[in-house]
A and B are shown apart, each in its own frame.
Chain A
Amino acid sequence: MFCTNCGSQIPESSNFCTGCGTPARRGGSAQPAAPISHPAPQPPAATFLPSVGISADVARTSAYSTSADPAPAPAGSKCTWCGAVLDGRQVSCPQCGATTGIKALTTDSHWSKLPGRKDMAKLQFGKSFCQIEGKYVPVADMNLAAGDSVYFTHHVLLWKDPQINVTTMSLAGAWKRMFAGLPLIMTQASGPGHIAFSHDAPGELIALPLHPGQTVDVREHLFLTATSSVVYDWFQTNVWFTTRNNNETETHYPVGMFMDRFAAPQVPGLLLLHAAGNVFVRELAQGQTILVKPSALIFKDPSVQMHLHLEQPGSFFGGWNSWNNWSNRYMWLRLFGPGRVAVQSVFNPIEGESRSISSYSYATLQRW
C-alpha cells in the first residue's frame, strides 16, 4: 500500500503513513483507527482550515482531513506545474510537490498561481527526497542519499544532522566562484543524512525540476538550493540607469547587476527558489510583452528578453521639457516573449527612481 500524500510504501496493517502521518486509505475510504482519532473525519469547514491568508488555495488543498483531499490525477496525466507524468496514485507530484488532481488557478489575464502544495509534500530527486514543511516560511527538508549532494549559499541553512559534512564547493564543481558577480561562498552538503533550508521572509517555495537541456534565469538572492547536477552561471543584466546629484553620478540596477542562470545540461536537476509573497507565472507568446516591477521578477526563460521601459502619464502642464525632470513617472521592466516569466507579489521600490535620471540602458519610452 502506498501513502496517498507522500507516496511512501507503508505496511498493509498501518493506519497512518509512517512517512508523513497521513491516514492510510484502503479501498478509497479513510479508516481512522488510532486511539486518539475518535471523531470521524470531518468535512472541511471554513474554521477548520489552516488558511494562512498568504496562499488561500494552498491552505485549501492542505486540509488535514482526508475527506478534503482531492482525488489524485488520473494515470498518465501530467503535473500542471512541472510536466511530470503521474501514475494515478499520487496526490502530490513526485517531482515538484504540487498537489495533483486540482485545476490550475489562472487569472483572466493568464497569470497562473503557483499550484498548491500539501504541507509535508515530498518530492524525489535522484535517490534523495525533499519534504516541504510549513506554510508561512516553508522549509526544504532534504533527505540526501549517499552520493547525492546539494549546494547552497550558507545563510539559508536551517539545521542539519551532525554527520552531514558541509564543505566549500570545489572549483571543479558546477558553479563559478563569483556568485552573481560577488565572491560569495557556495557550500555543498553530501549525503547520507538530513539537512534543511529556509529563507527569512514569508513567501512561497518554488520547486523547479529542470529537464535535461532546460535553463532558467533567476533574479539574484532568490536561490535557495540546487542539486549538484544543476550548473550555475551568471550574466550581466545590462539593465541600469544613472542619476545625477550635483557632481555625483550614481548607477542603479533595478533587477540587480547580475542574474543567476541555472541549467541542467545532461541529467535532470532540482532547483529550489524562495519568493516573497505569492508567486504567479505566465507564458508569453512570441513577441508578446508585459511590463512588470523590476524587483517582482523571479525567473524567466532565457528566451525572454528584458529591458527598461519608462512611462510618463499625460499632464496639462508638462511639455517635452519635463522629460528629464521626472516628478511623475513609472519605471518598468519590459519583458518580451516567447517564454515563461514568474513574478512575486512582494517587491521593493526602485532605488533612485524618483531622482533625476541622466542616462539609462536601452529602454522603450511612453509619454501619454
Chain B
Amino acid sequence: MNPNVNPAAGAPAGDFEHIQCQWCQSMNAKAATTCRACGAPLDIRNLVSDSGWREAPRLRDMTEFQFNSSTCQVEGEIVPVAEINLGQGDAIFFEHHVMLWKDEGVPLSVLPLSGGLARAFGGMPFVISVASGPGRIAFSRDATGELAVLPLHPGMELDVREHAFLLSSHQITYSFVRVKGLTNILFGGQGMYMDRFVTTGAPGLLILHGYGNVFERVLRPGESIMVEPGAFLYKDSSVTMNVEFQRLGTGLFGGTNMSLARMTGPGRVGIQSMYVHHHTGE
C-alpha cells in the first residue's frame, strides 16, 4: 500500500473540518498549523522542484507531535534532536550511537532479532535497543542534517538505508535484508544491509536522520530515476532498486565504473543530499 501516490485524495468529500498533512497524510483539525503526527508545518506551501522532488518539511524549532501515548519534540536545526516523552506502556527502539541523553529511570532492553547475520556497526555488535516508558530520552546523529519524520499507517512497508534510522516506535516490526548488488559500491565488499520497517494492524512512528537535506519523490508505476547509491535514504518496498554500472573509459588510463541505483516505481523514494559512509566495522 502506498498512501502517498495520490496526495490529492485529501479529506473525505464534504468534510471541511479537517485538513490533511501533505507529508504524512494524517488528518488534522482545521485550525492546526502543525501536523499532530509528523510535525510538518501545515500553513506553509510545499517546496517542490520542477523535477518533482519535494523537500522534507522543515520542522519549526521545538515542534511537538504525538504517537500513541507519547510525544516527540524536535529541537535544533543544524543537527536536530528528537526528544521523546514516552508514555506508560510505550516503547521505542534504536541503534547504537544515537542516544543523546535519557532520564535515569527509563529502562533499556535489547530487541531480539531473528536472522543471526553477523553485522557490526562502528566496532560494536549490531544490537537494537529498546527504551520503555514512562520517561524522557533524546536522540541525535553525528552530522548536519534533517529529520525525516515518517508516521507509518497500518499495512505499510518501508525500506531504509542502514544506519539512517534514528528511532522507531514499538508497533513497527523491524527486520533487515542484505542487499547483494550494492556490496562493492558502498562498503568495499563489506555488504550493505537495508532496514525494513513494517506495520500490520497498528500505526507507528519512524524517524530517520538524513545527511544534508532530504528530498522525496513519488514515482509512478514503471517510472524510474537514477540515484547515486550513497544518496538513497528510504523507499516504499514497492519501489525496486537495481544497481547499474556504466563504464567511463578514458582510453589511456583504463577508466572507471560509475554506478547508479535505478529506482523504479510505484512508490516513494527519499534521498539525502550529502552522504557519509559509515565504517561498518569487521
Interface, chain A (partner B; CB < 8 A): 16, 19-23, 34-39, 42, 47-48, 50-54, 64-65, 119-120, 122, 129, 131, 133-139, 141, 143, 154, 157-162, 164, 166-168, 177, 183, 185, 187, 194, 196, 198-202
Instruction: Please name 18 further chain A to chain B contacts, defined as beta carbons within 8 Å, in addition to the given A20-B50, A47-B60, A160-B226, sorted by A numbering.
Output: A19-B50, A20-B49, A35-B19, A50-B58, A52-B78, A53-B77, A53-B78, A119-B47, A137-B211, A159-B271, A162-B225, A162-B262, A177-B250, A177-B252, A185-B253, A200-B212, A200-B275, A201-B274
Given A159-B227, A162-B226 in contact, is the A42-B49 Cβ separation under 8 Å?
A: no
A141, B226: Cβ atoms under 8 Å?
no
Which residues on A sit within 8 Å (CB–CB) of B226? 159-162, 164
Q: B38-46, B86-94, B101-109: which lies at the A interface?
A: B38-46
Which residues on B sit within 8 Å (CB–CB) of A133? 47, 49, 53, 55, 213, 215, 273
B231 within 8 A of A: yes
The 6 closest A-B pairs by CB, nearest first: A137-B212, A134-B213, A137-B274, A202-B144, A194-B51, A137-B273
B231, A158: Cβ atoms under 8 Å?
yes
Which residues on A sit within 8 Å (CB–CB) of B271? 158-159
Complex alpha-carbon distance, A143 and B52, angstroms: 11
Interface centre among B20, B46, B50 (most CB of A within 10 A): B50
Minimum distance in angstroms from A308 CB to a CB of chain B:
33
Can you list 15 pairs linking A and B with CB atoms under 8 Å apart? Answer: A19-B50, A20-B49, A21-B48, A37-B45, A47-B61, A52-B77, A120-B55, A122-B50, A133-B49, A133-B273, A154-B258, A161-B225, A166-B246, A200-B274, A201-B274
Which residues on A sit within 8 Å (CB–CB) of B236? none
Q: Which secondary structure characterizes the binding site on chain A?
A: loop
Contact among A19, A20, A35, A136 with B212 in the assembled complex (CB-CB below 8 Å): A136
Complex alpha-carbon distance, A164 and B225, angstroms: 10
Which residues on B sit within 8 Å (CB–CB) of A38? 19, 30-31, 43
Considering the complex, give the chain A residue whose CB is closest to the CB of B264: A162
B213, A139: Cβ atoms under 8 Å?
yes
B249 within 8 A of A: yes
Provide the B61-77 mask, 1 if CB < 8 A to any CB of A, else 0: 11000000000000001
Which residues on B sit within 8 Å (CB–CB) of A20? 47-50
219-233 of chain B: CB within 8 A of chain A: 224-228, 231
B22 within 8 A of A: yes
B78, A136: Cβ atoms under 8 Å?
yes
A137, B213: Cβ atoms under 8 Å?
yes
A198, B51: Cβ atoms under 8 Å?
no
Complex alpha-carbon distance, A183 and B273, angstroms: 26
Complex alpha-carbon distance, A185 and B22, angstroms: 42
Minimum distance in angstroms from B201 CB to a CB of chain A:
29
B266 within 8 A of A: no
Given A19-B50, A159-B226 in contact, is the A42-B258 Cβ separation under 8 Å?
A: no
Minimum distance in angstroms from B51 CB to a CB of chain A:
4
By size class, the interface of chain B is 35 or more
B33 within 8 A of A: yes
A183, B77: Cβ atoms under 8 Å?
no
B45, A139: Cβ atoms under 8 Å?
no
Considering the complex, give the chain A residue whose CB is closest to the CB of B52: A194
Minimum distance in angstroms from A341 CB to a CB of chain B:
26
B124 within 8 A of A: no
Complex alpha-carbon distance, A34 and B11, angstroms: 13
Contact among A53, A120, A139, A194 with B273 in the assembled complex (CB-CB below 8 Å): A139
Complex alpha-carbon distance, A144 and B222, angstroms: 23
Which residues on B sit within 8 Å (CB–CB) of A157? 228, 258, 260
B227, A158: Cβ atoms under 8 Å?
yes
Which residues on A sit within 8 Å (CB–CB) of B46? 21
Given A136-B146, A185-B248 in contact, is the A158-B49 Cβ separation under 8 Å?
A: no
Complex alpha-carbon distance, A122 and B61, angstroms: 27
A39, B33: Cβ atoms under 8 Å?
yes
Complex alpha-carbon distance, A160 and B43, angstroms: 31
Minimum distance in angstroms from A257 CB to a CB of chain B:
19
Given A21-B47, A160-B260 in contact, is the A168-B250 Cβ separation under 8 Å?
A: yes
B258, A136: Cβ atoms under 8 Å?
no
Complex alpha-carbon distance, A194 and B22, angstroms: 24
Provide the B242-278 mask, 1 if CB < 8 A to any CB of A, else 0: 0000101110110110101010000000010111100
Contact among B10, B145, B224 with A162 in the assembled complex (CB-CB below 8 Å): B224
Which residues on A sit within 8 Å (CB–CB) of B55? 119-120, 133-134
Which residues on B sit within 8 Å (CB–CB) of A138? 213, 273
Considering the complex, give the chain A residue whose CB is closest to the CB of B11: A35
Given A122-B50, A133-B215 in contact, is the A47-B62 Cβ separation under 8 Å?
A: yes
Minimum distance in angstroms from B36 CB to a CB of chain A:
15
Considering the complex, give the chain B residue whose CB is closest to the CB of A164: B226
Given A136-B146, A137-B213 in contact, is the A64-B45 Cβ separation under 8 Å?
A: yes
Complex alpha-carbon distance, A39 and B58, angstroms: 18
Which residues on B sit within 8 Å (CB–CB) of A135? 213
B249, A168: Cβ atoms under 8 Å?
yes
A21, B45: Cβ atoms under 8 Å?
yes
